[in-house]
Structure 1
Amino acid sequence: MTPPLEPPHSPSAAVQVLWAKSGQKSEGEGWLPVLHHLLDVGACAAAILEREPASTRDLLASDLGVPDTDLAVRWTCALAALHDLGKASPAFQHKAEVLAARVWQVLPWQNHTENTPHGLVTQKLLLPLLEARGWDSGVARRAAQAIGCHHGQRETTPRAPDRGAGSEWHAVQDELVTLVLTAFGLHDAPAPPATTLTGGAFMHLAGLTSFADWVGSSFPLDGEPTPLPFTDPAAYLSQATARARAALDRIGWTVREPLAPNPAPIDETFDFIPHFNARPLQTLLADLLNTPDARPALILVEAPMGEGKTEAALYAHLQLQNAAGHRGLYIALPTQATGNAMYGRLRTFLGHQAARRPGQIPVTVDLQLLHGGSALNDTYQNDLARTRSAQQQTLPLTPNTAGDTADTVRAGEWFSHRKRALLSEYGVGTVDQALLGVLNVNHQFVRLWGLGNRVVVLDEVHAYDTYTTQLIHALVRWMHALNSSVIIMSATLPAQTRQDLLNAWNVMPDPAPAYPRLTVARTGDPAPTSRHIPGPRRTQTVTLRATDPDPAALATQAVTLAEAGGTVTVIVNTVQRAQDIFKAIREQLGPRFQSMCKGSKHPEKIGVHLYHARYPADDRAEREERVLRYLGKQPATYLRNGALHTTDVRPERFILIATQVAEQSLDFDTDVMITDLAPIDLLLQRAGRLHRHEGNTGRRGGHETPTLYVAGLHDWPEDALSEHHWKYVYAPALMYRTWYAIQNRAHLTLPDDLDSLVQRVYDPSTPILECLDEQQQATLRKADHHLKQQRLNQTSLGGQAHIGQPDTFIDSSPQPSLGEPDGEPAHDDTNTATDDLAAETPHFGTRLGDESLRIVPIHRNGADFLDPRGQTAAQITTLLKNDWEAARAIYRRSLQVSRHDLIRHYRDHPTRRGTEHIGWAAHPLLRDAEPLILTANQTVVGRTRVTLDAELGLTYERIE
């Protein structure tokens, strides 16, 4: 960006004394004039945009209606620079007494009782100044609001008097605008011709302004400021732009360019995966996108497990990145557990693509893990540490050799901050982090700017309730407005959900082809292109049998099945049932019981393993690793006595008891399965773990035929829903309809039956099932009505929660900030009112759910320790704020609970956890965590006895 030369300027005395930043407010040392800061931030905006793809800059031209992209970029950067014009007001200038004294010598002092934030003052001041320069009034108002909200919140322009009244103040404010425009070569340029500023344009300007302000505010205050901006603002801007480029280098903001400028064929792209051969889904999607079309796309992938959906999405990202000029990729998943698993896969993919660029220089890419538990992910933390130690984050932008992938993927610490993470080029995490972009939280526009002009993948979309689905629809609409492409993947979508997603992309839904199917909707097309995904594919016939839901009966059946040889998995709907079944199995087996946490292939014993979410984080992670070690692909690689071992450790006789944590996050294979009745899509997810790995054929004991035992299938499930508390976990209407859909079936054929069964259960137009008796029909009718009302309520809540539609939100009144209320789960367990006796009041965030609390079990033995042997101090009030190693060790012992007794206790009796400077309360990881003080591994809270058991996890016993 090279603005034309402007004539030198004769600065007023007033403009030279207005201050924006002060290193020592009381003494007035190390200060920065307003004009310097404005130009610094404008320079940062320019440096950011010059590293963006050309498509990003072209969008700015469209935003302002300016045919010349360079001119549009200069106008945009000038607007970003003017973000702190509000500091040129008496309300701000009086904040540093010594610096203010100079101001009052040349400008009239004014006594203001109100103290309007300077961002809002900017909104008030800038509107008439832009109008006077020929800007359309509506565009000027919205642009002023976009840059004025850089401290986090869009607010209505105030009528407060803090704007600086009087001709002298007006003159210096106008002079600042003139100097900024002069620096960018715009002093005599006609105003942009736009007559409206769209929602997308608002987010472009607001997000860029905050990003640039964060970078520009990091410039050091070096003594007395230079007078250059007052006499030659363009020359100062040139110097500031050089500093901005260096600052971007330090934080790792590199040139955004295609990862694979000429993508290799699919088989070659994924040749790092052993025995990879492109699946029909992957080749079909690649063919549909293999056209010279620069428009973004919405892609719906509805296909069962094993079709290669993830690799299809990654390859589509390479194609869209080249065709549409997208800047990067974000993969959003339902839980932290699924996000952790995807982080490793994406890291490997990016490393290979960045290092192997035929005819191109290898590049280094930044990859962030975005969720609340990222501090516990060792791979990500090692990436941060490695990046941090490499010249204090100043990494070479290319690795040493083209074939070396070790340094092609980095994790810049600057981007690991929660609000900045989506600015990074590549990311993987929970869907909640993306959905915060459409909630009224602080700096939501920065998140949307980071997701704009990017490929966004939403995986396992079937996992969300109606409320979160409404937020996803809003996110899709905003991605459409921000020129992003969206890839949505699911085992299957209810027909209404598919239609709603296509409507959000402004295309008319078409008749869905046969399942599995692929849909591509290009921006601007009236209708999508939909195709059936051809075979061949692996099909499996699962024998279906009913069984008694009583925990003792299930335990007996699991033991009997295990005695026949092979691996048995029991998946139940609540933690309490899982714990009860484990205890019953342990009692029945007696001396034949073998805890798999100790590891053994003893020929006379049966290994038993319990896995759910009510363990401290490190214990849960170890239990998850054991599931994958014993039931994952063999041979398995694992740590033993500090050394890596690779061997076949699949047990000959084994029982896994688990909750929803085993439903969709883990790639494991079981020989036979017992499951509680659940909604059909989740039931089929569970069944997908049966005979999953073909390599285990011939070693399944007495279970070479895949068999699914469904607890509660033998009889109308109304009593079971109440007795076993299932009605608090899943909608009874879906449970009844699932029961009816499969209760007379002897077999399921996967994936052939998947879509038809899901549509049958979830279609709201499905009539009352006539073969039911009169009482059953009445029960179902009541349950259907309740589900319909629940969906209507959640739809309404979801519509109220998000910021609004891209074409209307600007004209709506800004709402108070929600803070940062994401509700991302660390696991796939469903919080249940009965299991945790939780309140039913939902919180307003990315998900509806019971109120929850993070606790850390603490063993009190003279002092407070993390372990019962008293080896590691808990440091509740003494933890140092910068001691991240100790904080992570404490956080690893934490878990999330939603038990009403516990939440009420800590709400009414908060623990002293230090101060804002020392202790848990001072540390970002632990400031919301409460210690659960245990004596002999237990405590009583209210009417609940809470025990931390090494095998069972956290248990609750009601005290009457």
Structure 2
Amino acid sequence: MELAEIEQRLSDVWAKSPDPKGASSPVTLFRHSLDVTTQMAEFFRLYQPCWPISDDDVCVPRILAYAALTHDFGKVHPGFQAALRPNGPRFQNRHEILSLAFLACLDIPANERPWIESALALHHKDLIQLTGPNQPFYLGRLFGAEGTAARRLAEGLAPGYVQSQLQLLCELLNRAPQVFSSCGWEPFECYRVTRGFPTEIVGEIRGALERVKGLAERFEPVLDDFLRLLQPLPWPLRRAGVTVRGFMLNADHVASFCPYPLKKAIDNVQLLSRTLPSTVSGFKGLNSHQEAAGRLVGSGVLIAPTGTGKTEAALLWAARQAEDGLNGRAFILLPYQASMNAMQKRLVRMIAPEVLQQPEKWNAEIALVHGRSIRAVYERLLAEDDTRENAEKMAHIQNDLARLNIAPVRVGSPFQIIRLLFAPRAIEGLLTAFMQARLIFDEVHAYDPGVTALALASVRFLCDQLGSRVFFMTATLPSHLAGILGKLFTPMTIIRPDPDVMDRPARHRLRLMPPGVDVLSEPSITDIRKAADAGSVLVVVNQVGRARNLWRLLRSKIPDVHLLHSRFTHYDRARIETELDPRHGRVLIATQAVEVSLDLDYDTCFSELAPLESLLQRFGRCNRKGSRAEPAIVSVYRTFPEPSRVAHLPYRHDHLQRTLEVLESFLTKDPRGLIVETTVQELLDTSYPESLRRELENEIDSKIGAMNKEYIEPFVPFGKRDDSVNRFLEEEWQKLFDGEEVLPMDLIPCAAREPGWLGRTRYHVPISGRRFAQLLQAGRIRWNDELMCNVVNAPYTEEGLDV
């Protein structure tokens, strides 16, 4: 029987029901099976995974291809088919377990069978959810007894049905060589079909699940009575489990969304180098550290001044790793959402310029993944004059695309990687996305030490076990953190620019404001006005409240003044981020979000006192390329307005005091205040109090040790952890985030006019968890059932939320 005839005779057997609104037709089981098989071929072609168990002679493409083809065969069950029809009854069983019975038709080598069975049985549920105590397929003595899930699966197959659809699927297995060829697989020896669909279904299912459970037990560590390891952890076996289940999950998810061809990007150093002149403003050829990054094979650290092309260097490094055989995706990981949004657009311009004017296609090329990325897409689409209804629909599609393993490049935060430690279920799908990954971190020290430790522990796991490599790029890196990176990632090459960069003329001239002059004082306002008369001005303030106060003082004196902080609605924040470009007379008042990966170039900078690495990042948004005739004046305030116990926040008081001492000493030695790049490292290292340095080192070492012991070493594929562990992991994950969203009472009418949820969230404002708790206790926050959000009784104006 030919494939076309099999497809025609199975046309009434569905895998997916039609859209209730009539927007899509049902997807047949035949078509879905071939779609997933094709998608699996795409993943195999892209990653070219090697089998990690050296003494186990298996055919990896054969395991993956057969798993993809047969994974949903169990959907042929009459009960499942009835559930897909309009108003059909719920199918209260597991179709993937019935799929296992079809493998009995095949002559599968004993060393390959449990891997295929695992891919089928676990492509929806973790093993413990199927075979654990009190679960439907618990492998006890009552397995298959009257009324059990296995017995109901078998009894639901009427004899006439067995002779028709079931045998047609067995015939499809006979045509496997033709199927695999049409789905893009290179030839391999297929399994022989030795029998028809089995009659002893319960026995076949039990045997398969016992083999899967037995395989999962081999992932466990072997311990003595004192919980000490007796043998090395079985990482080759674990990697094999991640590969098989992870590829199955990814192929099924992508094909169910929309079958998608997978492509590489940033995989050729020469090609990337040729594109830079047309995509990078003012490009004059590769500098020394960019050339070094393009030659480096392996993990590395780049320490180079702001404005010297670190991002381009990191991309050249990523291309070199691809040339060396690394087949995974590239991840660019940044601290702030504003910098992530800007980086996506920047990379689209560099790597996929053909879709630059089509933001609805960006996430298929350069995926943007963060907590509010769907809203960033929504605002971009509305900016292109799209309708609200279509923008919301496309934003959801783009968000789904970004979170599938489709785009060759992803832009996001380190929490994408940290999530691996806390993922409660189906972690293999996430891990596969990071297999052989090229991980690029921008300013790894910009986070809380605890978050930095979690990120480093996760990255080390990926490098050690899944063949990933990491590249840290930074303008400043304290020596104690460089030492930690060197211990964690061996070998770790440190790249520093040659004299072509380091010996260039100073870009910045430091000025310390007189004692007693703070950012809100009259002398400060006068200086900012004079600077605005001469050019563009960046003012960076450490706290939102002070930024708002400064904006009030300047708005009546300067016509072009802008405010950027975290307490704007998403709608206003998206608009503000389009108005950041410097121009003569413009003043931008910003908080820390301006520090990282925003390609801004103001004429001068005023900044409140901050740790030296933060100050240098802020200075780097002025005279960025060093193209001005004179160094840009960067002014730092010694004092804060109305000193109090919290005036120094979010930084430590002792750190700020030590930084001020270093700056004062620097100006004593060189009253001109010229900041030359060769002096920065010494200034940075001396700006850390010894006590803080030890605390940071100890906290990072401690957390990394705890992560290894509690999460990484006990990790096993297939989901054997019970629900109590899963709940604990989810709770620990949520503790990492200190934030809530509220709708200002003033904006309720605006939100109510929006037709959809995504439109209403444009008017939400993020606030810290601590502030949320205070407002809730004060009775100023109430839940709104109609708008499905928390409403805060606080004014919202053009300067943001006043809380």
* Residue pair 2:379, 2:574 contacting (<8 A) in 1 also: no
Q: Partner residue of 2:294?
A: 286
- Distance 1:688-1:798 versus aligned 2 partners, 3 A rule: farther
Q: Superposed, which structure 2 residues align to 1:525-604 within 5 Å?
A: 535=502, 537-540=504-507, 542-545=509-512, 547-548=514-515, 551=518, 554-560=521-527, 562-563=529-530, 565-566=533-534, 567-584=536-553, 593-596=556-559, 599=560
Q: 2:656 aligns with which of 698, 720, 735?
A: 735
* Residue pair 1:330, 1:426 contacting (<8 A) in 2 also: yes
What letter is aligned with 1:162? P
- Distance 1:370-1:675 versus aligned 2 partners, 3 A rule: same
Q: 2:618 aligns with which of 686, 705, 723?
A: 686
Q: 2:648 aligns with which of 692, 701, 726?
A: 726
- Mapped partners of 1:793, 1:855: distance in 2: 39
Q: 1:892 aligns with which of 758, 762, 766?
A: 762
Q: SS at 1:753's partner residue? A: helix
Q: Superposed, which structure 2 residues align to 1:496-511 within 5 Å?
A: 496-501=480-485, 505=489, 507-508=490-491
Task: Indicate whether 1:752 and 2:678 are aligned.
Answer: yes
Q: Partner residue of 1:949?
A: 797
Q: Partner residue of 1:617?
A: 570
- Distance 1:572-1:453 versus aligned 2 partners, 3 A rule: same
- Mapped partners of 1:496, 1:611: distance in 2: 32
- Distance 1:19-1:748 versus aligned 2 partners, 3 A rule: same
- Distance 1:161-1:347 versus aligned 2 partners, 3 A rule: closer
What letter is aligned with 1:341? A
Structure 2: 5+ residue stretches without partners:
138-142, 178-189, 195-210, 219-233, 357-362, 668-672
1:896 Cα deviation from its structure 2 partner: 0.9
Task: Indicate whether 1:804 and 2:712 are aligned.
Answer: yes
Q: 1:50 aligns with which of 19, 32, 41?
A: 41
What RMSD over aligned residues (CA atoms) do the two structures have, in Å?
5.5
Q: SS at 2:419's partner residue? A: helix
- Mapped partners of 2:421, 2:409: distance in 1: 20
Q: Partner residue of 1:628?
A: 581
1:679 Cα deviation from its structure 2 partner: 2.0
1:308 Cα deviation from its structure 2 partner: 1.1
* Residue pair 2:418, 2:455 contacting (<8 A) in 1 also: yes
Task: Indicate whether 1:912 and 2:785 are aligned.
Answer: yes
Q: Partner residue of 2:198?
A: none
Q: Partner residue of 2:225?
A: none
Q: SS at 1:706's partner residue? A: strand
Q: 1:440 aligns with which of 423, 443, 454?
A: 423
Alignment coverage as a number of residue pairs? 706
Q: Partner residue of 1:226?
A: none
- Mapped partners of 2:663, 2:468: distance in 1: 41
* Residue pair 1:41, 1:212 contacting (<8 A) in 2 also: no
- Mapped partners of 2:418, 2:655: distance in 1: 27
1:428 Cα deviation from its structure 2 partner: 2.5
Q: 1:162 aligns with which of 112, 115, 136?
A: 136
- Distance 1:761-1:798 versus aligned 2 partners, 3 A rule: farther
Q: Higher strand share goes to which structure? A: 1
1:911 Cα deviation from its structure 2 partner: 0.8
Task: Indicate whether 1:339 and 2:340 are aligned.
Answer: yes
Q: SS at 2:306's partner residue? A: coil
Q: 1:667 aligns with which of 599, 602, 608?
A: 599
1:500 Cα deviation from its structure 2 partner: 4.7
Task: Indicate whether 1:491 and 2:465 are aligned.
Answer: no
Q: Partner residue of 1:831?
A: none
Normalising by structure 2, we get a TM-score of: 0.71
- Mapped partners of 2:548, 2:269: distance in 1: 54
Q: 1:875 aligns with which of 752, 764, 770?
A: 752
Task: Indicate whether 1:853 and 2:737 are aligned.
Answer: no
- Mapped partners of 1:611, 1:16: distance in 2: 57
* Residue pair 2:511, 2:635 contacting (<8 A) in 1 also: yes
* Residue pair 2:40, 2:251 contacting (<8 A) in 1 also: no
* Residue pair 1:551, 1:581 contacting (<8 A) in 2 also: no
Q: Partner residue of 1:367?
A: 366
1:417 Cα deviation from its structure 2 partner: 0.9
Q: Partner residue of 1:774?
A: none
- Mapped partners of 1:365, 1:322: distance in 2: 23
1:378 Cα deviation from its structure 2 partner: 6.7
Q: Partner residue of 1:109?
A: none
1:340 Cα deviation from its structure 2 partner: 1.5
- Mapped partners of 1:419, 1:199: distance in 2: 27
Q: Higher helix share goes to which structure? A: 2
Q: Partner residue of 1:74?
A: 62
What letter is aligned with 1:51? E
- Mapped partners of 2:483, 2:713: distance in 1: 18
- Mapped partners of 1:383, 1:434: distance in 2: 31
What letter is aligned with 2:246? G
- Mapped partners of 1:595, 1:695: distance in 2: 26
Q: Partner residue of 2:462?
A: 478
What letter is aligned with 1:309? K
Superposed CA offset, 1:899-927 (max 9, x none): 233455789741112xxxxxx44xxxxxx
Superposed CA offset, 1:483-517 (max 9, x none): 44433322233445445545555x355xx76x726
1:548 Cα deviation from its structure 2 partner: 4.2
Q: SS at 1:331's partner residue? A: strand
Q: Superposed, which structure 2 residues align to 1:243-322 within 5 Å?
A: 248=259, 253-257=260-264, 263-264=270-271, 266=273, 269-276=276-283, 277-288=285-296, 297-322=298-323
Q: SS at 1:428's partner residue? A: strand
Superposed CA offset, 1:387-432 (max 9, x none): xx99xx9xxxxxxxxxxxxxxxxx9975531774443233333333
Q: 1:430 aligns with which of 402, 409, 413?
A: 413
1:92 Cα deviation from its structure 2 partner: 7.9
1:334 Cα deviation from its structure 2 partner: 1.7
- Mapped partners of 2:491, 2:651: distance in 1: 32
* Residue pair 1:458, 1:487 contacting (<8 A) in 2 also: yes
Superposed CA offset, 1:363-386 (max 9, x none): x97333223234334785389999
1:569 Cα deviation from its structure 2 partner: 3.8
Q: Partner residue of 1:243?
A: none
Q: SS at 2:333's partner residue? A: strand
Q: SS at 2:624's partner residue? A: coil
* Residue pair 2:336, 2:593 contacting (<8 A) in 1 also: no
- Distance 1:789-1:93 versus aligned 2 partners, 3 A rule: farther
- Mapped partners of 2:169, 2:607: distance in 1: 68
- Distance 1:135-1:315 versus aligned 2 partners, 3 A rule: same
- Distance 1:657-1:214 versus aligned 2 partners, 3 A rule: closer
Give the number of the structure with larger relative contact order, counting CA–CA contacts within 8 Å between residues 6 or more apart.
2
- Distance 1:741-1:80 versus aligned 2 partners, 3 A rule: farther
1:579 Cα deviation from its structure 2 partner: 2.4
Percent identity between the aligned chains? Answer: 19
* Residue pair 2:290, 2:310 contacting (<8 A) in 1 also: yes
What letter is aligned with 1:688? G
* Residue pair 1:45, 1:80 contacting (<8 A) in 2 also: yes
Superposed CA offset, 1:902-954 (max 9, x none): 455789741112xxxxxx44xxxxxxx4344xxxxxxxx4xxxx22232x322
Q: Partner residue of 1:150?
A: 123
- Mapped partners of 2:171, 2:761: distance in 1: 51
Normalising by structure 1, we get a TM-score of: 0.60
- Mapped partners of 2:295, 2:701: distance in 1: 40
Superposed CA offset, 1:868-915 (max 9, x none): xxxxxx327xx545xx8xx43x433332122233455789741112xx
Q: SS at 1:610's partner residue? A: strand
- Distance 1:792-1:676 versus aligned 2 partners, 3 A rule: farther
1:440 Cα deviation from its structure 2 partner: 0.8
- Distance 1:214-1:268 versus aligned 2 partners, 3 A rule: closer
Q: 1:213 aligns with which of 252, 255, 271?
A: 252
1:347 Cα deviation from its structure 2 partner: 0.9
